[in-house]
Amino acid sequence: MGEWGASLSERRCSCPGNIGGDTHAASPLPLPCSNFPQALESYTACLALDPTDENPSVNSKLYCNRAAVFLKLRRYPEAVADATRCVELDDKYIKGFQRRASALCEAGDKESIEAALRDLYRVEELLKEGQAEEGARREAAQAIRDAQRALKKAKRKDYYALLGVESTADEDEIKKAYRKQALRYHPDKCAGLDDGEKKKAEAMFKDCKEAYEVSSGQARGARARAAEGGEARAQEQRRWLAIGRACV
């Protein structure tokens, strides 16, 4: 047995086997699932025994399991890095793609969710290739739908946030905030910036104008609905008052 093989045998008991539900020959004794810091330390120690990945089949599982620990600890960039190393070592390892997708979705931005969707489509392909059970394929399809909804939400602009006001702001507050932001990003104000910053300022100026038009329209609509509701309530009160008087 080689030097690394002997070391791995000596360290097997220190590698947890049930984090994220992944087990393998190098980790027969599980640690409690709640002991994530200890699990992280153990997986890192196991990976240190083979820094050049001479045994990719074992290391891919270790990276995948450590990615699951990073997910539990909300350390998403590290989870992405470990899941990436996992699928580099084994490009058919479904759990590696699933865990990277989970970590990318947690980032919440458009680019990360788009990358997560690519991983989930890859999972779907691998499940079809392996003739997976219908339940697993349904779960994969649901994960894709969830990511698609998250992507749609991420693409949606938060107009109130762009203007720096609450969603309950009235027309006067929105107009005041818009004037402030428009002055900040006006082309004349940003003429001295470099080309990159100038493009960002131009984009923000356009976005703020769009935000003002949309949010002020929403505020007017809310005011109109409130007025209509108030008038409707007043009419209802007058109707019941008339009925009451008729009964006297």
Q: Taking the domains of the chain in order of start, what are their residue ranges?
A: 3-155, 159-246
From CA 147, how far away is CA 247, in angstroms rounded?
Answer: 61
Maximum pairwise Cα distance, the chain: 104
Higher per-residue pLDDT: 235 or 144: 144
CB 60 within 8 A of CB 13: no
Which range, 24-28, 35-39, 120-124, has the best average confidence (pLDDT)? 120-124
The architecture CATH gives domain 159-246: Orthogonal Bundle (1.10)
| pLDDT at position 6 over 80 | no
Tell me the average pLDDT across 18-47. 65
Amino acid at 212: Y
**Which residue in the block uniquely carries the two structure tokens 């209802």?**
236
From CA 62, how far away is CA 200, in angstroms rounded?
Answer: 42
Weakest mean pLDDT among 4-13, 38-47, 58-67, 220-229:
4-13
Q: What is the CATH number of domain 3-155?
A: 1.25.40.10
From CA 45, how far away is CA 3, in angstroms rounded?
Answer: 16
The DSSP symbol for 92 reads T
Tell me the average pLDDT across 29-43. 74
Tell me the average pLDDT across 150-179. 84
* Helical segments of 130-170, H only: 134-155, 159-163
Same fold, 3-155 and 159-246: no
pLDDT band per the 50, 70, 90 thresholds, residue 19: very low
Q: Model confidence over 177-231: pLDDT tens digits?
A: 999 988 998 988 888 888 888 888 888 888 888 888 888 877 776 666 666 666 6
* Dihedral sign computed on CA atoms, order 111, 117, 123, 129: negative
How high is the mean pLDDT of the chain?
A: 81
Tell me the average pLDDT across 60-70. 95
pLDDT band per the 50, 70, 90 thresholds, residue 68: very high
Residue 142 structure tokens: 């649901």
| pLDDT at position 112 over 80 | yes
**What share of the chain in percent tops pLDDT 70?**
74
Residue from 181, 207, 38 nearest 16 by CA: 38
Amino acid at 44: T
pLDDT given for residue 8 in this prediction: 40
pLDDT given for residue 200 in this prediction: 86
From CA 78, how far away is CA 100, in angstroms rounded?
Answer: 10
How far from the centroid of its chain's Cα atoms is residue 247's Cα?
62
* Dihedral sign computed on CA atoms, order 168, 170, 176, 178: positive
From CA 153, how far away is CA 150, in angstroms rounded?
Answer: 5
pLDDT band per the 50, 70, 90 thresholds, residue 108: confident
- For the beta carbon of residue 132, count every other beta carbon within 10 angstroms: 16
